[in-house]
Amino acid sequence: MDCGRRVLVLRHRRISVRLERRSVVVCAVLALAAAGMAVLALMTGSYQLGPGQVVAALTGGETGLVHDIVVEWRLPRVAAALVFGAALGVSGAVFQSMLRNPLADPGIIGFSQGSYTGALIVILVVNGTYMQLVGGALLGGMATAVAVYVIAHRGGVQGFRLIVVGIGLSAMLDSLNTWLILQADLEVAMAAAAWGAGSLNGVSWDQVVVGGACITALLLLAGMLSRPMRQLELGDDAAAAQGVRASPVRLGLIVVGVALTATVTAASGPIAFISLLAPQIARRLARTAGITLAPAAFVGALLCLAADYIAQHIAPTPLPVGIITIMLGGGYLGWLLFTEARK
């Protein structure tokens, strides 16, 4: 007799966590794949290294040139790809679960463009620091979220209406961003345009550490909201019957999702479609009934690192990672629309 999916239950005093075994296995396999991809990325470049040299440099067994290449030059980029990809995966999972729509991506509904607009204003007006970029991106993303929510609110927010409003506002913000770049000085405009394609070229250890700390705190908050988030997928009435306060939880999810997107955008520009792809791939791998955060984070990390590797080492010329993710995401979006139309 089938009694349902097997789960692992972890208890410590008053804290209890339920983990589906298949999701745990999927996350473990994805973590191993990401680790292998990271070693490959650290090995590859104009100065080729062996896996033994990479491991020795990471563990302190190598000094001099090999240590500088691995730890100082290549590792910040690899760490950024993993951390930022995980953040984008969770952000997409939050919005897709909350809106119950596989097209609910922060880039499609305008939140990424709003974050980009806020960061772009900081770059062009005050030439700000990374923390100022984070603040500007967060304010821009939150302002966009409020605008989309207010415009779409008509007797309650429906996922489809919010997505349509977000697409329209996203197009307007794209035009605004282009106008801001055209008004800037040539050198600043060229740098802002290259950054706007989504690139990890200028990422430093400072951005990885500061951004990683912010993202870690936001991921913990997202984990705390994961259970009521899943209950909201049943509808507000059913969630309320289980003791979930829908409005505060939804507000918290919006803040977390936008903050994750804004933190990544401030460091690397808007990396498109990771938030769209990761949750859906993770759901199919884990075979869960709804969107889950942990598999989405691992898939997002692996996708971002793999896309950056392709952009740097397989493409005919080095490209921003955002160009590769747009190519992957565009193909997936076309497939998704085609399959949905057949239904």
Torsion of CA 182, 119, 266, 319, to 10 degrees: -10
Residues 6+ apart with CB under 8 A from 160: 101
Rounded to an integer, the average pLDDT of 12-20 is 59
pLDDT (tens digit, 9 = 90+) per residue, 85-106? 999 999 999 999 888 887 778 8
CA distance 281 to 265: 22
Please indicate, yes or no, whether the overall pTM of this predicted structure exceeds 0.75. Answer: yes
Contact 197, 323 (CB under 8 A): yes
At 27 the pLDDT is: 93
CA atoms 261, 103, 170, 228: torsion sign: negative
Contact 320, 197 (CB under 8 A): yes
The number of residues making up the chain comes to 343
CA distance 258 to 15: 28
Question: Would you kindly state where each structural domain of the chain is located, as residue ranges?
Answer: 7-342
Residues 6+ apart with CB under 8 A from 38: 78, 82, 305
CA distance 211 to 198: 16
| pLDDT range class, residue 12, cuts 50, 70, 90 | low
Q: Which is more confidently placed, 136 or 330?
A: 136
Tokens 């759901």 locate to 283
- DSSP string of 110-160? THHHHHHHHHHHHHHHT---HHHHHHHHHHHHHHHHHHHHHHH-SSS--HH
pLDDT (tens digit, 9 = 90+) per residue, 24-75? 899 999 999 999 999 999 999 888 888 889 998 988 887 788 889 999 999 9
Torsion of CA 279, 281, 285, 291, to 10 degrees: 20
Q: Which is more confidently placed, 287 or 15?
A: 287
Q: How many Cβ atoms sit within 10 Å of the Cβ of residue 219?
A: 19
In the DSSP assignment, the letter for residue 310 is I
Q: Report the interhelical angle of 130-152 vs 205-232 (nearest 10°).
A: 20
Lowest mean pLDDT, pick from 1-10, 212-221, 304-313: 1-10
Over its C-alpha atoms, the chain yields an Rg (Å, rounded) of 20
Residues 6+ apart with CB under 8 A from 247: none
CATH of the domain spanning 7-342: 1.10.3470.10
H or E element at residue 107: none
Residues 6+ apart with CB under 8 A from 90: 219, 222, 257, 260, 293, 296, 297, 300
At 135 the pLDDT is: 86
Mean pLDDT of the chain: 85
Residue in 96, 101, 93 with CA at minimum distance from that of residue 292: 93
